[in-house]
Chains A and B, each alone.
Chain A
Amino acid sequence: MCLGVPGRIVERCTLGEAALAAGLVEFDGLRRRVCLELVPDAAVGDFVLVHAGIAISLIDAGEAERLLQHLRALHEIDIPEETTP
Chain B
Amino acid sequence: MKYVDEYRDPHLAERLVAKLAETVTRPWTVMEVCGGQTHTLVRSGIDQMIPDKLRLVHGPGCPVCVTPLEMIDRALEIAARPEVTFCSFGDMLRVPGTARDLLGVRAAGGDVRVVYSPLDAVALAQKDTDREVVFFAVGFETTAPATALAIREARRLGLGNFSMLVAHVLVLPAMGMIVAAPGNRVQGFLAAGHVCAVMGYEEYYDFAAKHRVPIVVTGFEPVDLLHGLLMLATRLEAGRCDVDNQYARSVARAGNRHAQQAIAEVYEACDRPWRGLGVLPMSGLRLRPSYHDMDAERRFPSTSPSSVEPPECRSGEVLTGLLRPDQCEAFGTRCTPEHPLGAPMVSSEGACAAYWKYGRSPGQRASATNMRSG
Contacts and interface: CB of A to CB of B under 8 A. Distances in A.
Contacts of A52: 89, 116-118, 139, 143, 146
Contacts of A56: 142, 145-146, 194, 197-198, 256, 259
Given A3-B36, A68-B6, A75 B63 contact: no
Interface string B336-353: 000000000001110000
B265 to A, nearest CB: 12
**Interface bin, chain A:** 35 or more
B3 A39 contact: no
Given A35-B119, A51-B194, A54-B146, A2 B12 contact: no
B258 to A, nearest CB: 4
Contact of B1 (A6, A35, A54, A68): A6
B149 interface: yes
Nearest to B6: A68
Nearest to A53: B117
A82 interface: no
Given A63-B248, A71-B12, A54 B145 contact: yes
Interface residues of B, number: 60
Given A19-B156, A47-B2, A53 B116 contact: yes
Given A57-B256, A64-B249, A72 B12 contact: yes
Interface string A2-38: 1110101000000111111000000110000001011
Given A16-B126, A19-B156, A49-B194, A59 B249 contact: yes
B19 A74 contact: yes
Nearest to A6: B3
A60 interface: yes
Contact of B248 (A6, A18, A67): A67
A45 to B, nearest CB: 12
Contacts of A64: 3, 6, 249
Interface of A: 1-4, 6, 8, 15-20, 27-28, 35, 37-40, 47, 49, 51-54, 56-57, 59-61, 63-64, 66-68, 71-72, 74-75, 78-79
**Top-6 shortest CB links A-B:** A53-B117, A64-B249, A6-B3, A63-B248, A57-B197, A28-B1
6 contacts: A1-B348, A6-B1, A38-B149, A47-B3, A51-B142, A56-B194
Interface of B: 1-4, 6, 11-12, 15-16, 18-19, 34-36, 61-64, 89, 91, 116-120, 123, 126, 138-140, 142-143, 145-146, 149, 153, 156-157, 192-195, 197-198, 220, 223, 227, 246, 248-252, 256, 258-259, 262, 347-349
Given A16-B126, A52-B117, A64-B3, 7 more contacts: A1-B62, A1-B142, A1-B348, A2-B139, A2-B194, A49-B250, A53-B117
